[in-house]
């Protein structure tokens, strides 16, 4: 008799048949005596259709009106799912973001949740109803419709689970869990039964697209147990565990993440004096370019090189800004490349295990892969390499850290 918040994404509710499938699944949980709050996205394709209409009306669509427009996508899904549940004899009631009172700030298209009123939902659950909530949307203090930005439905799910103290927030997707790495790259990639929040955060931010990083952060902050499952296949999925300090039996490395979406830029021969980093990065951030890795090595002769990575889409924009900065600082020049990839090993286990980084570097050296940049955190080591070596590097590391399916089976 648990309370589950279940989130179904756009693909899971992408057709009339799939909505029926979700209704069957939800009814199964009710029949087993569980309380269920369902969060749904817009039917896949619908949000893009609406954005397309908007761009035909206005060059830069007004953010307030954009939220009024796109929030209709989820509103359609909640109504249809409730109908499907009722058709199955399962009482249900839908709520828009405004109706369930998901109060947000007024930042249209990227609002942040401030408060949720759980009173109506609790009353419905007590009456045996399934509560169906529109994901991705809320309402500000003045009653304006807001949206949380793309992928915000995961965040809605986690926020509802936190507000209702749910036993678990289940994110239903088109994969059956979190893998040690992308199975399309490494055949022997394994589904993880459990992963810690910190690891999931690193995996998500490094390009493992299973969960929105914002939702994972939110779940970690409010200690909401989060589980990733397949919408239409049975299975335990992957639990993102709130207990991250139980390191017994914890493998050293949980997974290999990678990312092809970055580009690197270097400004060479800048004066090695206090404040220079800020002088380089302020104009970049003023141009609304997000920076990922930042590297500055020790200088020589009063000069140093400064390297950072940005999203590949921002590469040429960042180059233009950086060339201007180089002139102003009297630097030697700038360099850049967008044919790079970032590969990371992630695992809380490495906190207590020495030599993890050197295992990684040895492995790459054996494959003759040159490392262009290195960056580390407590539970992660990332390297930037040439993009063409990406698959080779991931496969080699997966094997070097004993993550292959076969390896585990043999050791059992």
User: For binding to a copy of itself (CB under 8 A), which residues are involved?
Assistant: 16, 19-20, 50, 53-54, 56-59, 61-62, 64-66, 68-69, 71-72, 75-76, 78-84, 86-87, 93-94, 96, 98-99, 143-145
Q: Can you tell me the distance from the alpha carbon of 226 to that of 238, in angstroms, rounded to the nearest whole number?
A: 8
Q: How far is the CB of 60 from a copy of itself (least distance, A)?
A: 9
Closer CB to a copy of itself, 95 or 172, in the complex: 95
Phi and psi torsions of 184, nearest 5°: -75, -20
Cβ 8 to a copy of itself shortest distance, Å: 15
Minimum distance between the CB of residue 409 and a copy of itself, rounded to whole angstroms?
44
Question: Cα–Cα distances in Å, from 282 out to 191, 279, 286?
Answer: 41, 6, 6
CA distances from 43 to 66, 69, 72, 81, 149 (A): 17, 14, 11, 11, 16
Q: Which is nearer to a copy of itself, 59 or 249 (CB)?
A: 59
Measured from the CB atom, the residue of 54 and 281 that comes closer to a copy of itself is 54
Least distance to a copy of itself from the beta carbon of 40, Å?
A: 12
Q: How far apart are CA 264 and CA 20, in angstroms?
A: 46
Nearest CB to a copy of itself, comparing residues 72 and 244: 72
Residue whose CB is less far from a copy of itself, 33 or 52: 52
Q: Tell me how far apart the alpha carbons of residues 178 and 161 are, in angstroms, rounded to a whole number.
A: 20
The CB-of-29 to a copy of itself minimum distance in angstroms stands at 19
Three-class SS of residue 34? Answer: coil
DSSP state string for 343-394:
EEEE-GGGGG-TTHHHHHHHHHHHTTPPP-EEEEETTEEEEEEEGGGHHHHH
CB-nearer residue toward a copy of itself: 67 or 305: 67
**3-state helix, strand and coil shares in percent for the chain, rounded to the nearest 5:** 40, 25, 35
Least CB distance to a copy of itself at residue 108 (A): 12
């Amino acid at each position: 008799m648990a309370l589950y918040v279940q989130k179904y994404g756009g693909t899971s509710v992408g057709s009339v048949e799939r909505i029926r499938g979700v209704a069957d699944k939800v009814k199964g949980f009710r029949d087993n005596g569980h309380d269920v709050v369902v969060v749904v996205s817009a039917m896949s394709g619908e949000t893009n259709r609406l954005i397309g209409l908007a761009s035909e009306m206005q060059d830069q669509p007004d953010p307030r009106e954009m939220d009024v427009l796109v929030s209709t996508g989820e509103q359609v899904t909640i109504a249809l799912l409730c109908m499907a549940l009722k058709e199955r004899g399962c009482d249900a009631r839908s709520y828009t973001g405004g109706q369930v009172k998901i109060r947000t700030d007024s930042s249209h298209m990227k609002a942040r949740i401030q408060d949720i009123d759980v009173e109506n939902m609790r009353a419905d659950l007590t009456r045996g109803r399934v509560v169906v909530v529109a994901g991705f949307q809320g309402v500000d203090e003045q009653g304006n419709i807001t949206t949380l930005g793309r992928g915000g439905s995961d965040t809605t799910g986690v926020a509802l689970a936190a507000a209702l103290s749910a036993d678990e927030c289940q994110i239903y997707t088109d994969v059956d869990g979190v893998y040690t790495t992308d199975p399309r790259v490494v055949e022997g990639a394994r589904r993880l039964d459990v992963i810690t929040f910190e690891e999931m955060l690193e995996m998500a931010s490094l390009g493992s697209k299973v969960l929105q990083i914002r939702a994972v952060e939110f779940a970690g902050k409010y200690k909401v147990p989060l589980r990733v499952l397949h919408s239409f296949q049975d299975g335990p999925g992957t639990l993102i565990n709130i207990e991250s300090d139980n390191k017994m039996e914890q493998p050293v490395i949980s997974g290999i993440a990678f990312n092809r979406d970055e580009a690197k830029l270097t400004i060479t021969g800048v004066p090695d004096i206090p404040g220079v980093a800020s002088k380089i990065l302020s104009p970049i951030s003023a141009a609304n370019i997000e920076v990922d890795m930042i590297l500055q090595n020790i200088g020589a002769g009063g000069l140093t090189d400064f390297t950072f990575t940005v999203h590949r889409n921002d590469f040429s924009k960042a180059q233009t800004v950086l060339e201007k900065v180089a002139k102003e600082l009297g630097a030697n020049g700038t360099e850049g490349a967008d044919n790079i990839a970032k590969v990371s090993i992630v695992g809380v286990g490495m906190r207590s295990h020495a030599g993890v980084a050197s295992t990684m570097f040895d492995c790459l050296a054996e494959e003759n892969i040159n490392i262009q940049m290195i960056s580390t955190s407590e539970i992660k080591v990332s390297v930037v390499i040439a993009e063409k070596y990406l698959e080779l590097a991931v496969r080699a590391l997966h094997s070097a850290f004993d993550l292959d399916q076969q390896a585990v089976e043999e050791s059992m």
